[in-house]
């Protein structure tokens, strides 16, 4: 019976010891978990640098190794340099820090661990003087008697070492050694992720630079389609109704004869740059620059509607002529030109073949067809400083644009001459305004710009209209 009571009720002193040991083990487990969680948090918040992770490892390690010095050293060329260090005794820490940079040599403990990629666990450094003739003396001179050092890896290569240095002899416990292995794994993750992200950032910077350069050589819409994966590099085409724009500088050869090469280059680049800004603002598709000539079109890859595309193109042409007038005045003041610097513009609307043309190795995204040729012919027949429209384009914008019908163009492939219409000046005409009165039907066309009429001129127009009306009525009676 007494023995049974002894088993059921152990001595109070032994129970308290077990409980304290259990609480201590629980505290150590929680400390290890907290240290690991903190390091992982720093890894996730410092993706481009491993240094904050190294600093966190050595600092949090002090909570698990309170009487030790913890260091991380990395190979830099033929040397070992300390990356992070922390310890309970500042004098010992500084004494150890002064040992770096150290030579990369197998007779040093760091050198051996990094070169061999092996773990070194030395309970008494004084007994390893023969094996590590250089390194052991350094440890002893800094006041340390025991060291455990694990290799830090990057891929298949060892790049550094994590060390726990102790002032007293003895080995680490199994739990402490497991913690060190966890720290090393986290250091490896930090190095791998940092290099990967830095390489990715460098690659992105290179790609961004290349993309920026390519964007200057290919049309913006095509560039965006390629980047978005919407455009394939394949020989293919389709039929679409487009509005095509051609422009050319009138008497450009004579102008070039008056300018030095540098002046001509500056003037032409300024002209093309300003025109390109206007084209981009109106969502034109940049087809090509041919010397001083430009070709744009509307309706591909995206179309706002045939009428809207034609309207945008004509508005763009008007804006370009207006801007060129401003540029020309500036060039005259600078003495760059002494004769008119004017462009001819031709605009046509019709069905074209659009797509990739060329070979599988090199291709050009462009448009072809008789409607393209007609737009070029319109440009050739336009007045310097003028805009010449084909009949179909005019039919799409006649509700708001003042024009003058010009001589028809005969072209191969067309059974009838092509009616042409010249835009009358560069005004602020716009759809929806009441400044312009325009009426057209079979047998007549009437355009009145009220903004340009003086009171006397207005009275004259009214009298002229009354006279015309009287003639029409009399002809009807006959």
Distance in angstroms (rounded) separating the CA atoms of residues 164 and 144: 10
Supply the range of the domain harboring residue 453.
434-473
Tell whether 278 and 303 lie within a shared domain.
Answer: yes
pLDDT over threshold 90, residue 217:
no
Assign residue 290 the CATH number of its domain.
Answer: 3.30.70.1230
Cα 474 to chain centroid distance, Å, stands at 71
pLDDT over threshold 50, residue 3:
no
| Degrees to nearest 5, angle at CA 251 with 247 and 253 | 105
Alpha helices for 86-219 (secondary structure H): 90-97, 109-116, 135-141, 174-214
Give the pLDDT confidence score for residue 356 in this predicted structure.
80
Question: Is residue 69 domain-resident?
Answer: yes
For the whole model, what pTM was predicted? Answer: 0.54
Q: pLDDT class for 310, splitting at 50, 70, 90?
A: very high
pLDDT over threshold 90, residue 38:
no
Lowest mean pLDDT among 75-89, 198-212, 405-419: 198-212
Tell whether 148 and 168 lie within a shared domain.
Answer: yes
Tell whether 460 and 424 lie within a shared domain.
Answer: no
pLDDT over threshold 90, residue 63:
no
Distance in angstroms (rounded) separating the CA atoms of residues 441 and 446: 9
Give the mean pLDDT of 143-166: 88
Tell whether 368 and 442 lie within a shared domain.
Answer: no
Distance in angstroms (rounded) separating the CA atoms of residues 22 and 285: 76
Question: Is residue 48 domain-resident?
Answer: yes
Distance in angstroms (rounded) separating the CA atoms of residues 344 and 318: 11
* 8 Å CB contact between 109 and 151: no
Asked if the bond preceding 135 is cis, omega within 30° of 0, the reply is: no
Q: In what order do the strands lie in the sheet with 157-166?
A: 102-103, 79-87, 68-76, 157-166, 146-154, 120-122
Per the DSSP assignment, residues forming a β-bridge with 193 are none
Question: Is residue 262 domain-resident?
Answer: yes
Tell whether 171 and 52 lie within a shared domain.
Answer: yes
């Amino acid at each position: 019976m007494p023995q049974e009571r002894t088993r059921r009720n152990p001595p109070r002193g032994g129970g308290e010891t077990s409980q304290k040991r259990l609480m201590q083990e629980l505290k150590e487990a929680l400390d290890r978990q907290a240290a690991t969680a903190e390091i992982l948090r720093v890894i996730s918040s410092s993706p481009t640098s491993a240094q904050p992770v190294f600093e966190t490892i050595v600092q949090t390690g002090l909570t698990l190794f309170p009487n030790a010095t913890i260091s991380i050293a990395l190979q830099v060329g033929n040397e070992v340099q300390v990356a992070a260090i922390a310890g309970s005794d500042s004098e010992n820490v500084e004494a150890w820090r002064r040992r770096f940079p150290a030579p990369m040599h197998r007779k040093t403990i760091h050198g051996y661990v990094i070169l061999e990629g092996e773990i070194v666990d030395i309970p008494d450094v004084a007994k390893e003087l023969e094996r590590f003739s250089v390194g052991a003396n350094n440890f002893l001179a800094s006041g340390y008697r025991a060291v455990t050092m694990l290799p830090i890896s990057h891929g298949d290569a060892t790049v550094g070492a994590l060390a726990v240095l102790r002032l007293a002899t003895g080995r680490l416990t199994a739990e402490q050694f497991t913690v060190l292995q966890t720290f090393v794994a986290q250091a490896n993750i930090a190095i791998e992720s940092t290099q990967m992200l830095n390489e990715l950032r460098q690659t992105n910077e290179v790609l961004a630079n290349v993309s920026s350069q390519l964007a200057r050589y290919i049309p913006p819409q095509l560039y965006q389609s390629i980047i978005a994966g919407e455009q394939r590099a394949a020989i293919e085409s389709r039929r679409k109704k487009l509005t095509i724009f051609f422009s050319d500088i009138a008497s450009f050869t004579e102008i070039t004869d008056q300018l030095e090469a540098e002046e001509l280059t500056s003037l032409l680049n300024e002209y093309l740059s300003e025109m390109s800004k206007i084209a981009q603002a109106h969502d034109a598709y940049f087809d090509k620059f041919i010397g001083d000539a430009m070709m744009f079109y509307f309706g591909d890859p995206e179309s706002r509607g045939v009428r809207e595309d034609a309207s945008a193109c004509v508005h763009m042409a008007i804006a370009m002529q207006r801007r060129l007038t401003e540029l020309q005045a500036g060039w005259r003041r600078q003495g760059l030109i002494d004769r008119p610097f004017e462009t001819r513009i031709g605009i046509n609307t019709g069905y074209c073949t659009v797509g990739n043309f060329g070979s599988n190795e090199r291709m050009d995204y462009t448009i072809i067809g008789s409607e393209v040729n007609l737009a070029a012919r319109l440009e050739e027949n336009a007045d310097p400083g003028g805009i010449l429209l084909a009949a179909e384009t005019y039919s799409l914008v006649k509700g708001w644009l003042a024009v003058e019908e010009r001589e028809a163009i005969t072209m191969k492939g067309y059974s009838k001459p092509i009616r042409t219409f010249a835009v009358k000046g560069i005004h602020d005409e716009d759809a929806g305004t009441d400044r312009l009165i325009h009426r057209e039907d079979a047998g007549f066309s009437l355009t009145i710009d009220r903004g340009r009429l003086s009171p006397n001129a207005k009275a004259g127009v009214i009298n002229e209209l009354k006279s015309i009306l009287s003639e029409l009525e009399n002809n009807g009676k006959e």
